[in-house]
Amino acid sequence: MASGRRPYVVGPGGSSPVGCLGYAACAAEIRAQEQNLALSFGRIIVPNGSSGTHAGLAAGLTALDDAALRVLSFTVLAPWERSIESTQRLAAETFALLGPDQAGDEIDIVVSGSALGEGYGVPTAAMFEAVRLVARTEGLLLDPVYGGEAFAGLLAAIRSEKLGDAPVLF
């Protein structure tokens, strides 16, 4: 501080409005890739731990006049109600950083609590199935806590036909 510098404290999981700006930039990258590929993802699926990924993507899409509702996250850390609240707050704070005229409207957030199971880091049968399926069919290893639980939620949503026919980005 004596040299005129101010430290910046990064919150849990890097989930601060400044940290979420990276995911807002990611929203712009997704849009550019959609245009290059001549497609539009019906849903963008992410795990929701400390809310930063979902909040940043939602703020970025909103800033691009796109639907933040395209982002669906599966909470893997907090109870559903707390995940909705923290994601909503963080998205609004991130959106406000994107420009002085960006603050105000509430950003639509969709979080599912269906994949959480008994709590953070507690394995579920659906998670084991999802991790095995992706490893066997795609050669990808999902971490069991974030990617595995969220992919289990995605599989359940696909099986229940809740996502429609549009392409999905995980």
Q: What is the pLDDT of residues 84-105, one digit of tens each?
A: 999 999 999 999 999 767 665 6
Query: What are the start-end ranges of the E strands in the chain?
Result: 43-48, 71-75, 110-112, 168-169
Distance CA(110)–CA(126), nearest Å, equals 21
pLDDT of 10: 72
Q: In what order do the strands lie in the sheet with 168-169?
A: 110-112, 71-75, 43-48, 168-169
User: What is the share, in percent, of the chain residues with pLDDT greater than 70?
Assistant: 94
How far, CA to CA in Å, does 4 sit from each of 1, 7, 9, 10?
5, 10, 16, 19
* pLDDT at residue number 15: 86
Q: What φ, ψ does residue 21 adopt, rounded to 5°? A: -60, -30
Tens of pLDDT along 52-89?
999 999 999 999 999 999 999 999 999 999 999 999 99
Instruction: Map out the domains of the chain with their CATH numbers.
Output: 13-163 (3.40.50.1100)
Residue 13 pLDDT greater than 80, yes or no: no
Q: Whole-prediction pTM value?
A: 0.90
Q: Which of 124, 94, 120, 125 is nearest to 107 (CA)?
A: 94
Cα distances from 164 to residues 46, 71, 125, 148, 167, in angstroms, run 17, 14, 25, 22, 9
- Confidence at residue 105, expressed as pLDDT on a 0 to 100 scale: 66
Local confidence band at 1 (pLDDT 50, 70, 90 cut-offs): low
